């Protein structure tokens, strides 16, 4: 079993290194195939491990080597495969495998084909370290590793020009990559502080040691640690107010959006909360804050998705919204439900993104859903896939999203937090509306795209590769019961109270009414083509939502620009006039004094002797003074 | 009564005379003389202090200095003769070949 752990972990690494060998050379299809097969091996190993953990119920704990050993600090490279991490491993490697195969088709015409696979596999490797590590230090390494890979992949088309925000709401990939990286740096600091607090008070970073020692800690320490860790989670999972980078990250290639910015990396924050659940269950205030913020983000992001016209950004907003749901569940103590929604969401959201990639591919990279329409005929399979994924996202019965999202909404009811419950129900309706608005605008109605575009379906093997995700998006919900017994061996169990049980039919019906209502509204408005409503589009609320509550502009005006101004001032006034001037002054002094002292070298021995005498007298004076002082 | 300080004062005076000679003179031969004057000033100080402490080491040192000064003059005068033969002068101002 130990070997399987290493295979699961290092197969993506080998794939990355192999692809990197060909990084500078033109497209080689076998690079993609080998990277994908290694990913599949990793998936197979993860699946076997999952089966092993499921049947035996015991975790596998391996220590590869000692990493840092200094004084009392002992950090090994250790890996823990238990119910939580094996779930994440399976989900990550499964989605990654599909995305890798998809990328062979999607990146077909890209001249940096090999480089792309190198980055993508490196990302999976980092993600595996993140989920498998048995200590906070390893988690942090993976955490930063996925951040770097995310930066590399968002900025994959770094050569694209930067366009001013006024001209084009989308921005250049390199700008988006930097934004994502910098925002995550801010959050990473919070995370690091959390880890330091834990080490300072416990003296170890191993999960088991830390969690065993929690009862000895004061509540203020626990609160500080939980809050600091959650700030880290907020950055990675793009929670308000650190959410702007996620939609801008859509500048990267679509497989990247599917894998990193929907299915895996952004869920790392949720994973952290679930992994560190002993800490969070002991800090009810912080947990409630997490739940409240998650609910807020769920609603807030869904509201922006209602009016957005960019295909990928709509899905990005829905990712944000679903992450909010997960945080709401985790914050309310229903860790296993959060994990279940995480897994289910990974399947249907990756599918949705890959479908969007197909559409983009067919439409020559057009992303405006107002300029699409009528693609149903040309892209039947993509239509089915995106329809299935949207049904799952909207939470229609039998689809995966229904079970997981409904459980979260019930949790909010069960906890007696009726405000959160009401917002989450409303958000479910909005989710249904915007997902089907997008589907209808893209696939139904008359065509609105230019005549020179000839939409075509994606390659066959790509469509086949997407099938597992589609199947899982449909059936994943049926495994909910089994999943519960599986992960609650490790996570605290969460059961609905008797009272909630009695009302369950009503509760489900309410959510369903909202979901179906949302779809029906979208159908009525958009199924027969786009009828633009000038009055609505010019209304204040519409503009507010379309401009993302002016938050990007706000950040630009009140953070980016002042920061640039301060930096400029610092550079010109402090750096140039003080720091540089000091250094230059020393150099100039030496240079000038040398220039002056050169005059001594007359070549006349008599003068030299005079200087020698002066030196001798000076030495004498120094000796006399030091003798006097002594 | 003539004490140690008298000797040292004489020594210091002679040393100063030698030093001024080194600083002011331009003729190399005169510089040599001035150096000899300074060496002998030091010798006087050595002998006086040695007597003061009843320790013969200082006087021994003076002898060494006399011996070494003699050999140094022998070598130095040889060099001066060569120099004079080559340039026809011993004036230092004419030898400024090491200008920086």
- Residue B45: inside a domain: yes
Which of A601, A606, A610 minimises the CB distance to B100? A601
Distance CA B74, CA A59 (A): 96
Tell me the pLDDT tens digit for each residue of A401-447. 889 998 999 899 988 888 999 999 999 999 999 999 999 988 888 88
Percent of chain A topping pLDDT 70? 99
CB spacing of B19 vs A613 below 8 angstroms: yes
Distance CA A496, CA A502 (A): 10
Domain of B65, in residue numbers: 4-90
HEC assignment per residue over A291-355: HHHHHHHHHHHHHHHCCCCEHHHHHHHHHHHHHHHHHHHHHCCCHHHHHHHHHHHHHHHHHHHHH
Tell me the pLDDT tens digit for each residue of A511-545. 899 999 999 998 888 888 777 777 888 888 888 88
For residue B19, list chain A residues with Cβ-Cβ distance below 8 A. Answer: 613
- Residue B95: inside a domain: no
For residue A604, list chain B residues with Cβ-Cβ distance below 8 A. Answer: 92-93, 95-96
A506 touches chain B (CB under 8 A): no
Which of A603, A609, A613 minimises the CB distance to B99? A603
Instruction: Answer whether B34's CB lies under 8 Å from B21's CB.
Output: yes
Helix axis angle, A268-275 to A136-154, nearest 10°: 170
- Residue B28: inside a domain: yes
Nearest to residue A329, comparing CAs of A257, A224, A409, A393?
A: A409
CB spacing of B100 vs A609 below 8 angstroms: no
Please give the residue of chain A at the shortest CA–CA distance from B24.
Answer: A606
Which of B26, B98, B99 minimises the CB distance to A606? B26
For residue A602, list chain B residues with Cβ-Cβ distance below 8 A. Answer: 96, 99-100
Please report the ipTM that was assigned to this predicted complex.
Answer: 0.82
For residue A603, list chain B residues with Cβ-Cβ distance below 8 A. Answer: 96-100
Which 3 state secondary structure label does DSSP give A80?
strand
Instruction: Answer whether A336's CB lies under 8 Å from A483's CB.
Output: yes
CB spacing of A604 vs B96 below 8 angstroms: yes
- Calculate mean pLDDT across residues A248-266: 88
Please give the residue of chain B at the shortest CA–CA distance from A596.
Answer: B100
pLDDT of residue A492: 87
Look up tokens 């002011």; give the residue. B24
- Residue B97: inside a domain: no
For residue B42, list chain A residues with Cβ-Cβ distance below 8 A. Answer: none
Helix axis angle, A2-21 to A83-106, nearest 10°: 30
For residue A609, list chain B residues with Cβ-Cβ distance below 8 A. Answer: 22-23, 31
- Quote the minimal CA–CA distance from A181 to chain B in Å: 58
pLDDT of residue A110: 84
* Strand A73-81 with A60-70, pairing: antiparallel
Give A233 or A169, the one with higher predicted confidence: A233
Number of independent structural domains in chain B: 1
Residue A165 has pLDDT above 70, yes or no: no
User: Residues in chain B whose beta carbon is closer than 8 A to a beta carbon of chain A?
Assistant: 19, 22-23, 25-26, 31, 92-93, 95-100
- Residue B98: inside a domain: no
Q: How many C-beta atoms surround the C-beta of residue A451 within 10 A?
A: 6
Strand (E) or helix (H) holding A132:
helix A113-132
- Residue B21: inside a domain: yes
For residue B23, list chain A residues with Cβ-Cβ distance below 8 A. Answer: 606, 609-610, 613
Burial (CB count within 10 angstroms: exposed 0-12, middle 13-18, buried 19+), residue B23:
middle
Write the CATH number for B36: 1.10.287.3510
Instruction: Answer whether B47's CB lies under 8 Å from B4's CB.
Output: no
For residue A606, list chain B residues with Cβ-Cβ distance below 8 A. Answer: 23, 25-26, 92-93
Interface test with B, best of A605, A606, A617 (most B CBs within 10 A): A606
- Calculate mean pLDDT across residues A53-68: 86
For residue B96, list chain A residues with Cβ-Cβ distance below 8 A. Answer: 602-604
Tell me the pLDDT tens digit for each residue of A198-221. 999 988 888 989 999 888 888 899
Residues A327-338, buried b or exposed e (16+ Cβ, 10 A)?
bbbbbbbbbbbb
Tell me the pLDDT tens digit for each residue of A116-154. 999 999 999 999 999 999 999 999 999 999 999 999 999
Please give the residue of chain B at the shortest CA–CA distance from A594.
Answer: B100
Those residues with Cβ within 8 angstroms of residue B55's Cβ, 6 or more apart along the chain or in another chain = none
Interface test with A, best of B21, B87, B92 (most A CBs within 10 A): B92
CB spacing of B99 vs A613 below 8 angstroms: no
For residue B31, list chain A residues with Cβ-Cβ distance below 8 A. Answer: 609
For residue A610, list chain B residues with Cβ-Cβ distance below 8 A. Answer: 23
pLDDT, averaged across chain B: 89
Residues A48-65, buried b or exposed e (16+ Cβ, 10 A)?
ebbebbeeeeebbebeee
- Quote the minimal CA–CA distance from A602 to chain B in Å: 5
Tell me the pLDDT tens digit for each residue of A348-380. 999 999 999 998 888 887 778 888 878 888 888
CB spacing of A609 vs B93 below 8 angstroms: no
Task: State both tokens at A433.
Answer: 């509306």
Interface test with A, best of B12, B15, B23 (most A CBs within 10 A): B23
Residue A195 has pLDDT above 90, yes or no: yes
- Residue B58: inside a domain: yes
pLDDT, averaged across chain A: 89
A601 touches chain B (CB under 8 A): yes
Contacts 24+ apart (CB under 8 A), A276-281: A276/A207, A276/A226, A276/A229, A277/A330, A277/A335, A277/A491, A277/A492, A278/A211, A278/A214, A279/A210, A279/A211, A279/A214, A279/A222, A279/A225, A279/A226, A279/A229, A280/A226, A280/A330, A280/A331, A281/A333, A281/A492
Residue A396 has pLDDT above 70, yes or no: yes
- Residue B86: inside a domain: yes
Q: How many C-beta atoms surround the C-beta of residue B9 within 10 A?
A: 10
**In angstroms, how far is CA A573 from the centroid of its own chain?**
38
Residue A168 has pLDDT above 80, yes or no: no
Burial (CB count within 10 angstroms: exposed 0-12, middle 13-18, buried 19+), residue A482:
exposed
CB spacing of A613 vs B100 below 8 angstroms: no
Confidence of residue B98 (pLDDT cuts 50, 70, 90): low
- Calculate mean pLDDT across residues A311-326: 92
Please give the residue of chain A at the shortest CA–CA distance from B30.
Answer: A606
């Amino acid at each position: 079993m130990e070997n399987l752990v290493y295979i699961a972990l290092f197969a993506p690494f080998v794939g990355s290194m192999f692809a990197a060998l060909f990084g500078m050379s033109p497209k080689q299809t076998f690079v993609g195939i080998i990277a994908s097969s290694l990913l599949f091996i990793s998936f197979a190993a993860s699946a076997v491990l999952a089966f092993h953990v499921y049947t035996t119920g015991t975790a596998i704990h391996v220590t590869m080597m000692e990493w840092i050993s200094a004084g009392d600090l002992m950090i090994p490279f250790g890996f823990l495969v238990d119910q939580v991490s094996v779930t994440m491993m399976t989900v990550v490697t499964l989605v990654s495998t599909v995305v890798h195969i998809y990328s062979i088709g999607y990146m077909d015409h890209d001249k940096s084909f090999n480089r792309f696979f190198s980055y993508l596999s490196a990302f999976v490797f980092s993600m595996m370290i993140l989920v498998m590590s048995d200590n906070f230090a390893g988690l942090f390494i993976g955490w930063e590793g996925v951040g770097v890979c995310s930066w590399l992949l968002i900025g994959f088309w770094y050569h694209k020009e930067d366009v001013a925000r006024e001209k084009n709401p989308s921005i250049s990939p390199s700008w988006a990559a930097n934004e994502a990286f910098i925002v995550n740096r801010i959050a990473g600091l919070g995370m690091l502080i959390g880890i330091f607090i834990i080490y300072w008070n416990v003296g170890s970073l191993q999960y088991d040691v830390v969690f065993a020692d929690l009862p000895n800690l004061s509540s203020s320490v626990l609160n500080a640690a939980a809050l600091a860790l959650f700030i880290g989670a907020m950055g990675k999972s793009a929670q308000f107010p650190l959410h702007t980078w996620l939609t801008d990250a859509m500048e990267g290639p679509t497989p990247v959006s599917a894998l990193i910015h929907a299915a895996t990396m952004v869920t790392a924050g949720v994973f952290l909360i679930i992994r560190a659940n002993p800490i969070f269950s002991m800090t009810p205030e912080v947990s409630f804050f997490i739940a409240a913020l998650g609910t807020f983000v769920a609603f807030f992001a869904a509201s922006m998705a209602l009016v957005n016209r960019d295909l990928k950004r709509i899905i990005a907003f829905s990712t944000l919204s679903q992450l909010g749901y997960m945080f709401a569940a985790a914050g309310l103590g229903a860790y296993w439900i959060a994990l279940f929604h995480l897994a289910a969401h990974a399947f249907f959201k990756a599918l949705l993104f890959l479908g969007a990639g197909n559409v983009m591919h067919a439409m020559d990279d057009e992303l405006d859903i107002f300029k699409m329409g009528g693609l149903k005929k040309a892209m039947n399979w993509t239509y089915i896939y995106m329809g299935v994924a949207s049904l799952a996202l909207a939470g229609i019965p039998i689809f995966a999203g229904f079970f997981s999202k409904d459980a979260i909404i019930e949790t909010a009811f069960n906890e007696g937090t009726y405000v959160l419950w009401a917002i989450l129900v409303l958000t479910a309706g909005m989710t249904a509306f915007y997902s089907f608005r997008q589907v209808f605008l893209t696939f139904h109605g008359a065509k609105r795209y230019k005549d020179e575009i000839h939409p075509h379906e994606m390659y066959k093997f790509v469509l086949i590769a997407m099938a597992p995700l589609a199947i899982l998006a449909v059936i994943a919900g049926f495994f909910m019961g089994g999943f519960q017994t599986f992960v609650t061996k490790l996570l605290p169990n969460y059961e609905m109270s008797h009272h909630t049980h009695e009302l369950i039919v009503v509760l489900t019906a309410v959510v369903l009414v909202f979901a179906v209502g949302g779809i029906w509204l979208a159908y009525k408005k958009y199924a027969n083509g786009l009828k633009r409503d000038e009055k609505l589009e010019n209304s204040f609320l519409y503009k507010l939502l379309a401009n993302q509550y002016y938050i990007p502009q706000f950040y630009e005006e009140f953070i980016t620009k002042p920061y640039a101004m301060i930096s400029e001032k610092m550079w010109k006034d402090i750096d140039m006039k003080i720091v540089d001037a000091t250094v230059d002054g020393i150099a100039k002094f030496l240079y000038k004094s040398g220039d002056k002292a050169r005059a001594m070298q007359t070549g006349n021995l008599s003068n030299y002797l005079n200087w020698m005498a002066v030196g001798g007298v000076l030495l004498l004076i120094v000796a006399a003074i030091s003798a006097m002082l002594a | 009564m003539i004490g140690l300080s008298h000797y040292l004062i004489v020594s210091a005076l002679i040393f100063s005379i030698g030093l001024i000679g080194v600083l002011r003179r331009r003729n190399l031969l005169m510089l040599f003389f001035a150096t000899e004057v300074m060496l002998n000033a030091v010798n006087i100080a050595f002998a006086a202090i040695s007597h003061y402490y009843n320790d013969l080491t200082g006087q021994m040192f003076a002898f060494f200095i006399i011996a070494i000064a003699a050999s140094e003059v022998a070598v130095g005068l040889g060099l001066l003769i060569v120099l004079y033969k080559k340039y026809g002068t011993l004036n230092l101002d004419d030898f400024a070949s090491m200008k920086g």
